[in-house]
Amino acid sequence: MEWKNVDGRKNRFSTRADWEALALRYWAAARPHLTVRPGRWLMAYHPAGHSLDGAEMEGWSRHLWALVPLMAGGGRFPDTEILLEGLAAGVDPEHPSYWGRFGSCDQRMVESAVIGAALRMCPEIFWEPLPEHSREQLVDFLDQINRHEPADNNWLFFRVLVNCGLRHVGAPVDEALQSATLDRIESFAVEGSAWYTDGSAGRTDYYNPTGFHFYGLLYSLWEAERDPDRAARLRDRALAFAPVFLRWFDRHGAAVPYGRSLTYRFAQGAFWAALAWAGGGPYSQGQLKGLLARHMRWWQERPIHLPGGTLSRGYGYPQDAMTETYNAVGSPAWGFKIFWALALAEGHPFWSAAEEPLPEDTAPAVQPVARMVFSRDSRKNHAVVVCAGQEPGRAVWMRHFEEKYAKFAYSSQLAFSVPVARGDWTNLAPDSALLLRRSDGAWIARATTEEFSYGDDWVRSTWRIDERNRVETTLSLKAGTQTRRHVFHLGDEWEVVEGGFAVPLEGGANPVGEPGEDDGAQALSVSGGDWRCRLIMRAGGGSLEAGALGPGSHLLFPLAQLPVRRATLAPGRHEWTTVVEAECRKTR
């Protein structure tokens, strides 16, 4: 679906009116689902693991991430009565739409955060018009987050935002608890870096920019006078993270997909919106505007909407296979955090600035905390990361943990795949991965790593299959080209498959690899659309072939094809070197 403004002009996201128009379009698409019962999104199905009350509150509240900054920045919103009616109904224990009582780690904690932001940013809309009894019920409902424990990770910021809102409207706040919660959040900051770990699990992913740093920037402005030292620390940490995070984006606006919660899509750009609102930091208003505009244009060119105009679950298209157990129908609206730029009023220099391109920083850059090396190469038209894997323990509750955190490489334009069935390797979709299996056994991929080291343009990790079998993998990245060196220490015989990047398979045709040579090494290329991936077998044995992945496995291409390297390895020590090149054949 291509969004256009009311005058028929394609939305370029270059003016405040452009962004406001999209926010209101999303509201108009959701409005029929939000007015049957005040304060709830009535959904046709509920696929998430939390309560229906939480899911229906989620679908309602997440639209506030767009509407609160829209109104705070002076924009006109015609349906404030609908929002007030929903808010009053949701917190009224006697109303059929009541959102209910909290428990620990309750989804309603997540959805309460934006209500705290609404009280902090727009009390004249979300507080002052409420009758006294509704105000009391709202305070009682929100205060539940202080009487139950959130998850010990980025969720702690939800309590902080709620209390910032409550304090702003004069409601009592447990200041000792607020301070202790902020102390715990700061304990997740990795010393000597701009990263946080997402709680004790130790993962580093999009919850840094879309969670910790996004909320930290809000706090840094809201509480600058009341809590100046902490506000300055949170702001400085976010400013230091900006050049780190910049490498996740290519010059077309796409970001590297990695980790969980990718169905939030353009939440990837929310950090830049908050940074613009907070003053811009190391980047000009034109650079931030260009980042946000290109990012939203890229997303709006993807088929991510359902027929009525609401966001689907998935990434590049409707695709439930890659979603999380906590993603309900309304979950993708978390992406509306990118609309925080609307908190900037019409006259702000951000809106009059001309778009500027990304800084030209194409040299490889290692990010040790995330165990990654990034490279952006304009000739290949995408940003690429090679990854050594993360935490020592697998998150058993997460769908497709191996694929989201432990593949060898991720690309802004070529993304990655998840399994859609068992059996043949094509259904397991091992793009940028290594699969191993014993005879008649199940395929095994890297999930977690043990030893880890790095250099300027490489990362090395050791991952263990079991006590008798382990693999040492060294990944280097230069100008978007990967070199992978695997040292196998095997106590058993294994069948092995290694994949490059997947590219589109157009028309459902059988994939055809183009064999060739590269300085005497065997090579195989697959082409689809504008993209080509070349797999080069430089050291070690095996053969090269291409296959079609299971339909709906790839995050961007409903049909995809993959070049792979295959071999059967006997017990003992083996060395492989594989080179992967992927490039777009035309300037996009």
Residue 350 has which token pair? 């951000």
Assigned token pair, 408: 């060898």
Comparing C-alpha atoms, which of 106, 124, 116, 97 is closest to residue 41? 97
392 pLDDT exceeds 60? no
What is the SS3 assignment for 53-92? HHHHHHHHHCCHHHHHHHHHCCCCCCCHHHHHHHHHHHCC
pLDDT of residue 199: 86
Percent of the chain at pLDDT > 90 equals 81
Q: Looking at 260-264, 395-399, 443-447, which range is the least confident one?
A: 395-399
Q: What is the pLDDT of residues 337-349, one digit of tens each?
A: 999 999 999 999 9
- C-alpha closest to that of 461 among 562, 373, 353: 373
What is the pLDDT, as a whole number, of residue 5?
45
Angle between the N-to-C axes of helices 107-121 and 64-72, in degrees from 0 to 180, rounded to the nearest 10: 10
Tell whether the model's pLDDT for residue 529 goes beyond 50: yes
Indicate whether 568 pLDDT > 50.
yes
| Per-residue pLDDT at 6 exceeds 50 | no
Distance, in Å, from the CA atom of 198 to the CA atom of 206, rounded to the nearest integer, reads: 10
Per-residue pLDDT of 183-242, as tens digits, reads: 999 999 999 999 999 987 778 999 999 999 999 999 999 999 999 999 999 999 999 999
Average pLDDT taken over every residue of the chain: 92
Residue 20 has pLDDT above 90, yes or no: yes
Gap between the Cα atoms of 523 and 513, Å rounded: 9
Quick: pLDDT tens for 342-369: 999 999 999 999 999 988 766 778 999 9
Q: Say what percent of the chain tops pLDDT 70.
A: 96
Domains and their CATH numbers in the chain: 16-352 (1.50.10.20), 365-584 (2.70.98.70)
Choose from 33-37, 300-304, 373-377, 378-382 the range with maximum mean pLDDT: 300-304
- Write the pLDDT tens digit of every residue in 37-86: 999 998 767 788 888 999 999 999 999 999 999 999 999 999 999 999 99
Give the predicted TM-score (pTM) of the model: 0.95
Please choose, from the candidates 480, 582, 477, the residue with its C-alpha nearest in 3D space to the C-alpha of residue 531.
582
The pLDDT-based confidence of 9 (bands split at 50, 70, 90) is low
Of the listed ranges 294-298, 366-370, 568-572, the one predicted with least confidence = 366-370
